[in-house]
């Protein structure tokens, strides 16, 4: 996934701090909409393998597969476990209240799994996004 950004700072560890326009569900057309409740700019820390400098307009890339996997772990797994938890309890002949408790418990387990996977992924590569090209030099 490619996005345009502006470098606001180069850190001592070689990473760059950038400002990225947040693209929401609405498509990011903030000028034509008064419905946004969030600021449309987002700060992020990215790898800087090409040695870009402060003030430069750059293109950054986030691994698309990482975003998709993260969404699956965070959103899909808990929902699937909610349904599976209810189904297993119903097949065992448990009353409705216990089926609901079973489904909620399975959902919590799914969320905990997602958190553990997220922390392990972050530990392996805390900054997967990187600068891939310089678009415009403002200096």
Q: What is the DSSP string of 49-85?
A: TT---TT-EEEEE--HHHHHHHHIIIIIHHHHHHHHH
Q: How many residues make up the chain in this entry?
A: 139
Domain ranges of the chain: 2-62+126-136, 65-124
Determine the pLDDT at residue 32. 59
The span from the CA of 76 to the CA of 121, in Å, is: 17
Q: What ranges in the chain are assigned the alpha helix state H? A: 64-71, 77-91, 96-124
Determine the pLDDT at residue 58. 92
Determine the pLDDT at residue 30. 55
Q: What is the mean pLDDT of each run of 10 residues along the chain (139 residues)?
A: 88 89 59 59 88 90 82 91 97 96 97 92 82 75
* Burial tier of 103 (Cβ tally within 10 Å: 0-12, 13-18, 19+): buried
CATH match for 2-62+126-136 among 2.40.50, 1.10.3470, 3.30.1690, 2.10.109 = 2.40.50
Q: How far is CA 115 from the centre of its chain?
A: 13
CB 106 within 8 A of CB 90: no
pTM > 0.75: yes or no? no
């Amino acid at each position: 996934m490619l996005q345009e950004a502006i470098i606001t700072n180069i850190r001592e560890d070689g990473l760059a701090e950038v400002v990225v326009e947040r693209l929401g569900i609405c498509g990011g057309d903030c000028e034509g909409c008064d419905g946004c409740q969030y600021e449309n700019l987002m700060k992020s820390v990215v790898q800087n393998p090409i040695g870009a400098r402060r003030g430069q307009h750059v293109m950054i890339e986030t691994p698309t597969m990482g975003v998709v996997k993260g969404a699956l772990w965070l959103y899909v797994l808990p929902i699937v476990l909610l349904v599976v938890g209810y189904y297993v309890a119903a097949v065992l002949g448990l009353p409705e209240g216990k089926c609901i408790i079973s489904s909620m418990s399975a959902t919590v387990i799914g969320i905990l799994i997602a958190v553990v996977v997220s922390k392990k992924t972050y530990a392996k590569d805390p900054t997967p996004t990187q600068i891939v090209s310089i678009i415009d030099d403002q200096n």
